[in-house]
Structure 1
């Protein structure tokens, strides 16, 4: 069985830099050599090193090109794909890959919270678990997955919820869909899989989507002229999808020019549709043309909206996709 490993850098691949902190220096061969028990799995691991960068410098286009390369690898016989990267943007890159991945073979993202210069680095264990999941029949048909801390998370639910803890990744609205237990992959639930989206990677260069977080006593001044510079906007509102009353007409004006998706800044739970009716409530914002993001986090909503715009989706198609995926 052959698994392709793409290395993008990140904490999992870092080493000391002479007193200047840690930097990405380890390639796939060095990463895999540091994983106890990996050779015993009996998997042929084909390493594809790419230019290592902090995950903060990854782009939509680069991830789309990675997914295309992974698709080719599977078409040529790979049973699954593992991607190592920094954890800062992993919830976004994994979700983007999930939107584009049209294969049953597992596409598994992993990384590390503790770099190899520290006591107890988690990278080797995470890479071992990711390879096990990528080889597992139980993980087929689940789309892109995030595997860290022996937990298996669906891309549509996972988020990084802690800055430093090794158990940083959670799925607030669903929990992990499985675990790796004594080397065995246990998938406990199978979320519905939605059709993949088809996007030319170059299309992302033409689709700019902003993210605006509502805050206390917000006057919306930062939104002036936004529709002239961006093709879409995601709003992270309070609670179930509220903003200050003074901000509501400003957002309504923006929504007349570009699609605006309403999400919750809380980190869990859904935007509502028709419970509250005051100015700035979810119902009021819907009347003003904002689209309901449901359970989508602000970050995933931005990934989805930019992907749809890059694919050339019109307003009706965007609304339909949001309804299906939120």
Structure 2
């Protein structure tokens, strides 16, 4: 075939935010820090030249633990602007906050071009570094027409995960990312993306998310006195409770949570990492899900606590009222 007759390669924008995938040691050898650029990451994967025309942007060069809501809102603004003329996007970042970044970005991103987030569990100087393979999988997925309209995906260890389901479930394994409640939406098979099923896009939260708001997460633990709840009453604009099992807390928490829910949104989630908060099964008194929902707490449904916090925070920062917040969480039951 005449090479001049071949279709042009798709354009994929690669944004580097830093993280382990971009880390290397300095001369002191005292541990790794973000040093590599997007150009460095791409140079380690020569196969990319045949996959897409790449535009490289060094957006941040920080560890994942340093990222904040403003960083992700800025990424979303860029992606929304560029989506009409870009085949897809790849974001490389630290894995500490990757699941949260993916979910928040999925709330804020309105385009159809695929957004694929990836990173690495082993830095580039380690034997068996996984960054190059993950970048290759991410670019191939971002350039894949079948991935259009799926919102934000996470590519890791040749698996593709939806932003709303993915969780980091291991501190060091190269297969750290899983979707406990759903499984992967696709795989890379013989190097090509294969989408198993599509999910409807979740409702977007409009940018800018500029209104100040403070939302924290409190986890129920055996015998906890809930002292942090006393601070929450005075200082928070919203609270997410990571409750036992299907939505239960120590009985000493119930009254304080009800009092707080009368003033600000309080979302009830499960700390288990999979499954849903129930609505009308347990009625053993203070601290059961029937009791707590009756006191005005909002059912977080299937959302795990960290993502529920981001949804509540984004809604509050966008100016949503209480009814809108309740409706947003009702979609996750």
Residue 228 of structure 2 corresponds to 222
Where does 1:147-226 land on structure 2 (aligned, <5 Å)? 147-203=155-211, 206-226=212-232
SS in 2 for 1:197: coil
The one-character-per-residue Cα deviations of 1:15-73 (angstroms, maximum 9, x if unpaired) are: 112221001100011100001411122x1100001231111110111101111111222
The one-character-per-residue Cα deviations of 1:247-284 (angstroms, maximum 9, x if unpaired) are: 11111111111100000111111111110001211111
1:317 to 300, 324, 333: 324
The TM-score normalised by the length of structure 1 is: 0.97
Would the aligned equivalents of 1:65 and 1:201 in 2 still touch at CA under 8 Å?
no
2:153 to 127, 145, 148: 145
Residue 56 of structure 1 corresponds to 65
Would the aligned equivalents of 1:7 and 1:85 in 2 still touch at CA under 8 Å?
yes
Would the aligned equivalents of 1:199 and 1:310 in 2 still touch at CA under 8 Å?
no
Residue 16 of structure 1 corresponds to 25
Deviation at 1:92, TM superposition (A): 0.4
Whole-angstrom CA distance in 2 between matches of 1:207 and 1:90: 22
Would the aligned equivalents of 1:233 and 1:259 in 2 still touch at CA under 8 Å?
yes
Deviation at 1:98, TM superposition (A): 0.3
Gaps of 5+ in 1: none
Deviation at 1:91, TM superposition (A): 0.4
Where does 1:101-120 land on structure 2 (aligned, <5 Å)? 101-120=109-128
Residue 302 of structure 2 corresponds to 295
Would the aligned equivalents of 1:199 and 1:307 in 2 still touch at CA under 8 Å?
no
Deviation at 1:244, TM superposition (A): 0.7
Q: CA RMSD in A?
A: 1.0
The question of 1:263 aligning with 2:269 is answered yes
Residue 140 of structure 2 corresponds to 132
Would the aligned equivalents of 1:12 and 1:85 in 2 still touch at CA under 8 Å?
yes
Gaps of 5+ in 2: 1-9
Whole-angstrom CA distance in 1 between matches of 2:49 and 2:80: 25
Deviation at 1:289, TM superposition (A): 0.8
SS in 2 for 1:267: coil
SS in 1 for 2:42: helix
1:234 to 237, 240, 250: 240
Whole-angstrom CA distance in 1 between matches of 2:140 and 2:332: 28
Residue 280 of structure 1 corresponds to 287
SS in 1 for 2:248: coil
Would the aligned equivalents of 1:79 and 1:135 in 2 still touch at CA under 8 Å?
yes
The one-character-per-residue Cα deviations of 1:65-86 (angstroms, maximum 9, x if unpaired) are: 11111122223x1111110000
Deviation at 1:199, TM superposition (A): 2.4
SS in 2 for 1:23: strand
SS in 1 for 2:62: coil
Would the aligned equivalents of 1:262 and 1:292 in 2 still touch at CA under 8 Å?
yes
The TM-score normalised by the length of structure 2 is: 0.95
SS in 1 for 2:47: coil
User: How many pairs were matched up?
Assistant: 322
